[in-house]
Amino acid sequence: MCRAYLIFFGVIALLLTGSVAQVRADGLPVDPQMKISDPPCFEGCPSPILVDQGFQFTTVNGGGVFEGTNQTGVLWFSLDISLFGPTVAANTVACSAPGLYACSVGQDEIGNATDIFFSNDCTGCAGIPTNETFFVDLNSTNGNWPIGEMFKGVYNNTTPTFFEPLTPVAPVPEPATITLLGVGLGAFLAKRKLHARSA
């Protein structure tokens, strides 16, 4: 009986150690991030964005990926994504769009981020052509966006006639959360097994 308890607690200690190591590997939440890319789409393209139409999405758990398709019929030379909701310090926000845009973070008078502006006015920057799918990646190894942060996007620096609420970003469980869930499930199963042996 004593040996069974030692094995049980040894397994729990091992799982917790793995969980701590995973959290360390992920890094501490510091900098929210936005990345944009645009692989081509051939069929079943997500969230079509039509002429004179903007788009918006909201974070569910601080991260996730939004997918949309430029179906406006024009090349998007620029993209302005405004932030609404919990405040985020502008100097903590990172953005990138390799091969598409150079990006900068706008801020208000007290240093909170107001928008993220993407422009193809740079060497080698192509923008987002019509019929291209684009991905806005809000996941980061360094940190998370606040839950409930809303992003509204306008292409070509023009004001669309309306915003279309499209697919919210999908929640992406962190590895540490999955590990802790496994620890709890393992402890539950081990306790049931020990209880069955003693009965």
Q: State the pLDDT at residue 89.
A: 93
Rounded to whole angstroms, how far apart are CA atoms 119 and 125? 8
The number of residues in the chain equals 199
Calculate mean pLDDT across residues 152-178: 61
Rounded to whole angstroms, how far apart are CA atoms 193 and 139? 39
Confidence of residue 173 (pLDDT cuts 50, 70, 90): low
Chain-centre distance for alpha carbon 23 = 18
Q: State the pLDDT at residue 29.
A: 37
pLDDT tens digits along 20-35: 444 333 333 345 666 6
Confidence of residue 151 (pLDDT cuts 50, 70, 90): very high
pLDDT at residue 191 greater than cutoff 50: yes
Give yes or no for a contact between 55 and 166, defined as CB atoms under 8 angstroms apart. yes
Pairing of strands 150-155, 48-50: unpaired
Calculate mean pLDDT across residues 33-41: 67
Q: State the pLDDT at residue 115.
A: 94
44: β partners: none
Q: DSSP 3-state assignment of 31? A: coil
Quickly tell me which residue has 């081509």 as its tokens.
Answer: 40
116: β partners: 81, 105
Calculate mean pLDDT across residues 159-181: 55
Q: State the pLDDT at residue 190.
A: 65
Calculate mean pLDDT across residues 1-26: 50
For the entire predicted model, the pTM comes to 0.63
Q: Of all helices (H) and strands (E), which one includes residue 105? A: strand 102-107
Give yes or no for a contact between 71 and 49, defined as CB atoms under 8 angstroms apart. yes
Q: State the pLDDT at residue 91.
A: 93
pLDDT at residue 73 greater than cutoff 90: no
Q: State the pLDDT at residue 72.
A: 86
Average pLDDT of the chain is 75
Q: State the pLDDT at residue 30.
A: 40
Burial track 53-63 (b if 16+ CB lie within 10 A, e otherwise): bbbbbbbeebb
Chain-centre distance for alpha carbon 177 = 16
Instruction: Quote the Cα angle for 161-84-91, to 5°.
Output: 125
pLDDT tens digits along 87-144: 999 999 999 898 899 999 999 999 999 999 999 888 888 899 888 888 888 887 667 8
Q: State the pLDDT at residue 24.
A: 35
